[in-house]
Chain A
Amino acid sequence: MAINWFKYSAPTTFYPLAGKLIPWFAVSAAILFAAGLYIGFVVAPADATQGEFYRIIFIHVPASIISMFLYLVMAGYAALGLIFNTRLSSMMASAVAPTGALFAFISLWTGALWGKPMWGAWWVWDARMTSELILLFLYLGFIALHASIEDPRRADRAAALLAIVGSVNVPIIYFSVKWWNTLHQGSTIKYSGTSMHIAMQQAMFIMMAACWLYAIAITLMRVRSIILERERNSKWVAQLIEVKS
């Protein structure tokens, strides 16, 4: 039997599926957060040059990577919505944006907290930090543009264009430490291997997975709300148990 991949691209079928998936993602995110923070803050050794200060890396790096990746996810959904005119894709793009903005903000904030004791400055206008700040502004711009247009379908199209064009910034963030000289250090995770002690690596990758699962869970929760809001006049929404009661 061929699987119908498009079955769940309709809000009608995706809404209950998302509802069933959320607890799984949420619970596994919570477990991995606990494990990652424990390994990161208790098991992993102190760093030779930075002592205990480096431990903020376990929040900073996962948040930064997820903030960039979520932008590509958002732009991808926005592009799908624009090309195929599917309702759910645009709703997914809107659902991803606040979480992406949150991670970009966490990345900048933890970066500042790390920069002050180690570099001696909260903020420097180097290429890595400036482009990550632009990423935060792109997320906020997407949310603001979407909110400023009354008709949701028109808002989807306008915001999608912003999201797609803005995706040019993501490779700039990633390669900024290679292309220009910056105060920010180079990438620790490279194709040639990770220049990090094994327990530190484990903590970082577990935290990354946890952030990822959290992002999925929260996006599904948000997209359910968006579906209910946008389809409130449809028959199937009126027949939902949670709406009826």
Chain B
Amino acid sequence: MKPRQKRAVYIVVAVIAVGLAVGLVLNALKDNVSLYFTPTDVHEKKAPQDRSFRIGGLVQEGSIKREGDGLTVHFMITDLHQSLPVIYKGILPDLFKEGKGVVAQGKMEADGLMHASEVLAKHDENYMPPEAADALKKAQTANAAAASAVPPVVK
């Protein structure tokens, strides 16, 4: 083998070795690399019990309740399997809406609520003008209506 071929092989082997090592480390630290736990994780007691952590999911439809002081907000974070009640006092981001993504940081207290110290909004990767979004929503509700109009199949 010529010296330059040897060097090429060394480089390829080195990159593969480093790639594997990094891959194994990241795989081992999977839970630490992820930004948040899901409500299901909390339900299965995978989330930390006595310290602050982040929880992510969707704001459950119809769950937002504001207290009289105008600052304290109650809502539920859901991953469509489990949901978790959150209480937060502070200013919410503009994109915080029912049915939209949210990440909250806080601690589970004895009252069974997560007392959040920070609430962040998570948006999706779809970009469209408002008219297109309206049309999409209309089509979805029409589909849902059509689906519920179909009589249930008897097994």
Contact = CB atoms under 8 A, between A and B. Distances in A.
Interface stretch (A15-23, A79-87, A147-155, A221-229): A79-87
A13 interface: no
A45 B95 contact: no
A121 B125 contact: no
Given A48-B132, A85-B4, A165-B14, A127 B127 contact: no
B95 A165 contact: no
B133 A48 contact: yes
B101 to A, nearest CB: 8
A47 B93 contact: no
A140 B132 CA distance: 43
A125 B35 CA distance: 7
Contact of A121 (B92, B120, B133): B120
Interface in B18-55: 18-19, 22, 26, 30, 33-36, 38
Interface stretch (A28-36, A89-97, A193-201): A193-201
Given A54-B127, A167-B15, A181 B36 contact: yes
Contacts of B133: 48-49
B34 A180 contact: yes
B18 A165 contact: yes
Interface stretch (A3-11, A184-192, A212-220, A231-239): A184-192
Q: Is the interface of A mostly helix, strand, loop or mixed?
A: loop
Contacts of B123: 49-50, 118-119, 185
Contact of B130 (A46, A186, A188, A195): A46
B94 A118 contact: yes
B26 A172 contact: yes
B64 interface: no
A196 B93 contact: no
Contact of B93 (A118, A127, A168, A188): A118
Given A84-B4, A183-B103, A168 B129 contact: no
The 8 A-B pairs at the shortest CB distance, nearest first, are namely A48-B133, A120-B93, A45-B129, A185-B125, A126-B35, A195-B126, A180-B34, A188-B125
Given A48-B130, A118-B123, A183-B36, 10 more contacts: A85-B4, A117-B93, A117-B94, A120-B119, A124-B120, A126-B35, A127-B35, A181-B38, A186-B124, A195-B125
Interface of A: 45-50, 54, 57, 79, 82-85, 117-121, 124-127, 164-165, 167-168, 172, 179-183, 185-188, 195-197, 200
16 contacts: A49-B95, A82-B7, A83-B4, A83-B8, A119-B122, A120-B92, A120-B96, A124-B103, A124-B120, A172-B26, A180-B30, A180-B33, A181-B34, A181-B56, A195-B127, A196-B126
